[in-house]
């Protein structure tokens, strides 16, 4: 398996064989009654320099269910030697002496790759600033496959903070590989995907599959054409913590809110996904709609992360 002993840094690195293996293992993890022997005696360090609920706890739950142990540095690095001025490189080199793999979240784009460069063990990117979040993309794609039955010929509406949303940056790269997929990009102008530049001109990579771009001003109804046609509506939170000014955030924070009326225009077979946490972009009244798949997506995250850990740690 090509994932064995590999760092997991970007969604672009997965071969088709890797994706097939992750999905096959995730299916198996769901069905297997006893997974506790699979990674017995192995240790995972979970190091989070940014807040997390789902990513950290699902990696911890996944490792535990596989029989392994966890070094959790998830309660704030203020309790680790980082608060004494230790560099990321030294922290990672140290943890690599105890752990068989490291899951790392960091506020700087590229920091996880920097960590991987010095790490003696595989490093899994659990979100690097506005860069990528590849394990989330795996679980998002797995959920899409489970919910719609396919990974190709999908019309996918990406909604919200496309500039800062690292889950979007990874998922769109994965979906870009499959034939017939078509992207509808819905955001305020300030949060458009083609603002994501730097070393990784993501928009250029995926533009061949961009069917339509909406720069909404007053609300999501301006993009009703895309909502009506979509097989998947991928909602995201406006990433308040990435703004340098409160005014900029205030201007766009309510620009892409879903409501029951918009959902009633969606196809019955369509699905709403969200990496979570949500703020106000999906009112809770929508949760009972069978098209709301975001909590099933959370559940899938456990099985996909069990699969990923098994493959990287080489069961
Ligand atoms: C996301 C993240 O951290 O990038 N959450 C997650 O991992 N499920 C999305 C977000 O914070 O908005």
The pLDDT tens digits of the residues spanning 124-138 come to 999 999 999 999 999
Mean pLDDT for all residues in the chain? 95
Give the mutation target among 127, 132, 240, 278 for probing the ligand 1 site: most ligand atoms within 8 A of CB. Answer: 127
- What's 214's DSSP letter? E
Residues 50 and 140 in one domain: no
187 and 96 fall within a common domain: no
Atom of ligand 1 nearest to the CA of 167: 4
Shared domain for 89 and 35, answered yes or no, is: yes
User: pTM to 2 decimals?
Assistant: 0.96
Q: What's the pLDDT score for residue 194?
A: 84
Question: Does 220 reside within a domain?
Answer: yes
Q: 138 and 118: one domain?
A: no
Check pLDDT > 70 for residue 200: no
Residue 4 Cα to chain centre, angstroms: 21
User: CA 69 from chain center: how many Å?
Assistant: 24
Mean pLDDT of 72-82: 78
Name the residue range of residue 229's domain: 134-298
Q: Is 16 exposed, middle or buried (0-12, 13-18, 19+ CB in 10 A)?
A: exposed
The verdict on 123 and 148 lying in the same domain is no
Say whether both 159 and 272 belong to one domain: yes
pLDDT average, residue stretch 148-170: 97
- Tell me if residue 54 is catalytic: yes
Q: Are residues 107 and 142 in the same domain?
A: no
At residue 39, the pLDDT reads 97
Q: What torsion do the CA atoms of 251, 255, 256, 261 make, to the nearest 10 degrees?
A: 150
Does 7 participate in catalysis according to the annotation? no
Q: Is 166 in the pocket of ligand 1 (CB under 6 A)?
A: yes
The answer on 286 and 246 residing in a single domain is yes
32 in active site: no
The answer, yes or no, to whether any atom of ligand 1 lies below 6 A from the CB of 276, is yes
Q: How many CB atoms lie within 10 A of CB 104?
A: 27
In this predicted structure, what is the pLDDT of residue 197? 53
- Please tell me whether residues 30 and 162 are part of one structural domain: no
Verify whether ligand 1 is closer than 6 Å to residue 235 (CB atom): no
266 pLDDT higher than 80: yes
Q: Note the pLDDT of residue 117.
A: 98
Characterise 153 by phi-psi region: left (phi > 0), alpha (psi -120 to 50), beta (else).
Answer: left
CATH number at residue 155: 3.40.50.1370
Q: Whose CA is nearest to atom 6 of ligand 1?
A: 275
Closest ligand 1 atom number to CA of residue 236: 12
Q: Residue 3 domain-assigned?
A: no
Ligand 1 contact via 42 beta carbon (within 6 Å)? no
Residue with tokens 């720069």: 215
84 is catalytic: yes
Residue 49 pLDDT: 94
Q: Which residues pair with 45 in a beta bridge?
A: 71, 102
pLDDT recorded at residue 239: 94
For the segment 248-253, the average pLDDT, to the nearest whole number, is 93
Is residue 133 flagged as an active site residue? yes
Check whether 77 has a pLDDT greater than 90.
no
Residue 72 φ then ψ, to 5°: -95, 115
C-alpha 134/C-alpha 136 separation (Å) is: 5
124 CA from centroid of ligand 1 (Å): 15
CA distance 12 to 175: 10
Could you give the 3-state DSSP secondary structure of residue 230? coil
Q: State in Å: Cα 275 to ligand 1 middle.
A: 6
Q: Which atom of ligand 1 is nearest to the CA of 166?
A: 4
Same structural domain for residues 121 and 148?
no
List the 210-215 sheet strands across, edge first. 210-215, 182-187, 155-159, 232-235, 271-273
Asked whether the CA dihedral 182, 166, 293, 46 is positive or negative, the reply is: positive
Judge residue 204's burial from the number of C-beta atoms within 10 Å of its C-beta, 0-12 exposed, 13-18 middle, 19 or more buried. Answer: exposed
- Mean pLDDT in residue range 173-202: 87
- pLDDT confidence tier of residue 57, bands split at 50, 70 and 90: very high
Spacing, Cα 37 to ligand 1 middle (Å): 30
The DSSP secondary-structure symbol of 7 reads -
Same-domain check for residues 92 and 174: no
Q: Is the pLDDT of residue 295 over 80?
A: yes
Give mean pLDDT, residues 25-30: 96
Q: Is 306 a residue whose pLDDT tops 60?
A: yes
Q: Considering its fold, how many domains does the chain have in total?
A: 2
**Tens digits of per-residue pLDDT, 5-19?**
999 999 999 999 999
pLDDT over threshold 90, residue 80: no
| Same domain? 275 vs 146 | yes
Q: Is residue 234 part of a domain?
A: yes
First to last CA, the chain: 10
């Amino acid at each position: 398996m090509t994932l064995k002993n590999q760092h997991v840094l970007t969604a672009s690195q997965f071969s088709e064989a890797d994706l097939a293996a992750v999905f096959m293992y995730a299916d198996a993890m769901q069905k297997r009654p006893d997974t506790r022997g699979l990674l017995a005696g192995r240790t995972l360090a979970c190091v989070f320099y940014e807040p997390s609920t789902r990513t950290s706890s699902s990696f911890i739950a996944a490792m535990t269910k596989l029989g392994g142990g966890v070094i959790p540095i998830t309660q704030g690095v203020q309790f680790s030697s980082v608060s004494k001025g230790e560099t990321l490189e030294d922290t990672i080199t140290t943890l690599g002496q105890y752990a068989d793999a490291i899951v790392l979240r960091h506020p700087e784009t590229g920091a996880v790759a920097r960590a991987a460069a010095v790490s003696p063990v595989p490093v899994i990117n659990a979100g690097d600033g506005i860069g990528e979040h590849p394990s989330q993309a795996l679980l998002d794609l797995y959920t899409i496959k489970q919910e719609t039955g396919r990974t190709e010929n999908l019309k996918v509406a990406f909604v919200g903070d496309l500039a800062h949303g690292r889950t979007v940056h990874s998922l769109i790269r994965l979906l870009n590989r499959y034939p017939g997929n078509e992207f509808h990009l819905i955001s305020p102008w300030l949060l458009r995907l083609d603002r994501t530049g730097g070393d990784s001109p993501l928009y250029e990579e995926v533009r061949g599959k961009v069917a339509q771009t909406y720069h909404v001003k007053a609300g999501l109804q301006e993009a009703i054409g895309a909502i009506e046609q979509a097989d998947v509506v991928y909602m995201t939170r406006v990433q308040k913590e990435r703004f340098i000014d409160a005014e900029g955030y205030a201007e766009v924070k309510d620009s892409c809110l879903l409501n029951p009326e918009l959902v009633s225009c969606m196809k019955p077979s369509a699905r709403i996904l969200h990496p979570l946490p949500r703020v106000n972009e999906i009112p809770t009244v929508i949760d009972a709609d069978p098209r709301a798949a975001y909590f099933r997506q959370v559940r899938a995250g456990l099985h996909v992360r069990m699969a990923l850990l098994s493959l990287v740690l080489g069961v």
